[in-house]
Amino acid sequence: MNRRHVLSSLCGASASMLAFHLVPSSAWAASFSNTDAISALRAALSKGADVAVSQLGAADGFLGNDKVRIGLPDMLEKASPILRTMGRGKQLDELISAMNHAAEQSVALARPLLADAIKSMSIQDAQNILQGGDNAVTQYFATKTRAPLTRRFQPVVNQVVDKLAVTRSYNELAGKASAFGVVKGSAMTVQDHVTAKALDALYFVIGEEERRIRRDPVGTGSAILKKVFGAL
């Protein structure tokens, strides 16, 4: 047997062992194959991503949902009662509306990166998700996509909120407050605040869908989700 053949055999054996360890040794492991497990995980990832992007990207997807509506940055929120008594309430309301619509417009950009994360899922990723808790899918997406999505979201967010005078005023004030040590660390700009909250909302909705699938795989209407998640 030549060296190339030996190496090829060893690689094949290693891949088989990795696939075997995808499904833990337990009473339910015999209920489905490794192929079923991968298919179910990809279906769950796709379903969660589609629901989140469609729901949040709809008209008033953020503004009309109390769970994800984006409020003012903390420092501005604390000052808002005084600002409203000074007649600045309309500007604050315009900023809240602009922030939420900016987030709404940006989430559509998440779809291709979420799809790439699904395609690139490794055997170890699959094992972690399968054996993980109710938010394992959410954690997977956040780890794989948060940094690149931050870069994609910000230009859209900037375009929407930059035009408001209150954004510039707040960012200048926040910068000064940070420089003089009035706030700990670097104060977030409005743009950073919106981008972070938009991503938090995206992963939150994916998490809600994941928990729904795990609780009621039969209700999804998917045979593969029922087969795999129903056995967990």
pLDDT tens-place string over residues 125-149:
887 887 777 778 888 999 999 999 9
What is the pLDDT at residue 193?
A: 93
Q: Provide the pLDDT for residue 30.
A: 47
pLDDT in tens, 9-28: 323 332 332 333 344 434 33
DSSP letter (8 states) at residue 162 = T
Q: What is residue 220's DSSP assignment?
A: G
Domain ranges of the chain: 32-160+188-229
Q: Which tokens belong to 33?
A: 């194959």
For residues 181 and 141, give the distance between their C-alpha atoms in angstroms, rounded to a whole number.
Answer: 35
End-to-end CA separation in angstroms for the chain: 43
Write down the pLDDT at residue 34. Answer: 66
pLDDT at 149: 96
The list of the chain residues with pLDDT below 70 reads 1-34, 176-187, 220-232
Q: What is the pLDDT of residue 9?
A: 36
pLDDT reported for residue 56: 97
Cβ-count burial 129-166 (b if 16+ within 10 Å, e if not): bbeeeebbbbbbbbebbeeebeeebbebbbebbeebeb
**pTM given for the model:** 0.78
Number of H helices, E strands in the chain: 10, 0
Look at residue 78 in the predicted model and tell me its pLDDT.
85
Q: Residue with structure tokens 């939420």? A: 100
Cβ neighbours of residue 114 closer than 8 Å, sequence gap 6 or more: 45, 49, 53, 141, 145
Q: What's the pLDDT score for residue 54?
A: 96
Question: What Cα–Cα distance (Å) separates residue 19 from each residue in 16, 29, 98, 132, 152?
Answer: 5, 13, 48, 17, 34
pLDDT at 188: 78
pLDDT (0 to 100) of residue 6: 34
